[in-house]
Structure 1
């Protein structure tokens, strides 16, 4: 019984984590479908625990399944890599032509000259799907090991050449 409760709670919390991420990313219909499965499985698991509440191993299995489900849900989300990342890059050498090298590899780059504490800099913004984020970091470090990199996840994206494909993906 404890093993079943453990597995059920892993599944429930993994689905819960995925549903929350889908909701935050704007995939409302997929999130709603996931929530239906989540609730059905949750009720079954909770019913098993409550029917056997006098057995401490069932409560422990429920708690351990919860924690394990959070970890697995996060791992699944990393693999799904939904959404986009905005990467800001500042390079000390304004003559490295890093923006051109990144564009040649298919990245959309907006760049400009900037001034830092120690002189001129090349600043860039690069929007990339999250699934390509690590690959982009590796490429930037390969082309300019001293590049300063900051990234964040944009909440909304309007305009630019990415907008049309982003809207089509969210509609699905």
Structure 2
């Protein structure tokens, strides 16, 4: 009796114009969110997780698109599909910010280091590398630090507190090997290890330990 009632329900106008569009909308949010995270994992070199997410992404997408093809005369499904894609993109971006996956390279160019930025970053637990360079107006110092994405806000706060007009740039570090990073168990102290090495950058002249 219950099975009969279920089949009767899915053939009603309420299911076709309300329940089905909602299900398609939710399915699109799920598969687009997974897709956004999958692309991020691909860019981060996560070879194990990216294919797994791709499997579930396509699986959910097939379920959603199959319902669209079965109800081509239902315009509500079209709007639900498009709205789910838009919302899924937003949700995926929010999830990426919350997960804060990967490493970043923060590069700061200083004309004068009056507030001892290198020491402040080091005391906060960040590995620091310094390069002497020349700018348009004379000698400058380039300060490199490789950090986790979730630590970016704190690192930038230290930089701006030292010099609110400091020039800095931020980029993704795809591969980091043998670095000094924060010890998650002891705030403000760095892990023992070798000097930080960024494969994409040039030769570093001096390292602050």
Q: Shorter-chain-normalised TM-score: which range?
A: 0.7 to 0.9
Aligned-pair CA distance for 1:56 = 1.1
Aligned residue in 2 for 1:66: 85
Aligned-pair CA distance for 1:95 = 4.1
Aligned-pair CA distance for 1:159 = 4.3
Q: Flag the structure with larger Rg.
A: 2
Aligned-pair CA distance for 1:73 = 0.7
Q: Whose helix proportion is higher, 1 or 2? A: 1
Query: Which stretch shows the higher mean deviation, 66-75 or 24-33?
Result: 24-33
Query: Which stretch shows the higher mean deviation, 130-139 or 108-117?
Result: 108-117
Q: Which of 50, 58, 61 lines up with 2:69 in the alignment?
A: 50
Q: CA RMSD in A?
A: 1.9
> Structure 2 length as normaliser, TM-score?
0.72
Determine whether 1:137 maps to 2:181.
no
Aligned residue in 1 for 2:132: 113
Tell me, what secondary structure is at the counterpart of 1:150? strand
Instruction: Check conservation: 1:94, 1:121, Cα contact below 8 A.
Output: no
Tell me, what secondary structure is at the counterpart of 1:82? coil
Instruction: Check conservation: 1:20, 1:31, Cα contact below 8 A.
Output: yes
State how far apart, in whole Å, the 1-side matches of 2:111 and 2:27 are.
Answer: 53
Determine whether 1:92 maps to 2:114.
no
Aligned-pair CA distance for 1:59 = 0.9
Q: Which runs of 5+ in 2 are unaligned?
A: 1-19, 182-192, 195-209
Aligned residues: 164
Q: Which runs of 5+ in 1 are unaligned?
A: 165-172
Structure showing greater relative contact order (alpha-carbon pairs closer than 8 Å, 6 or more residues apart): 1
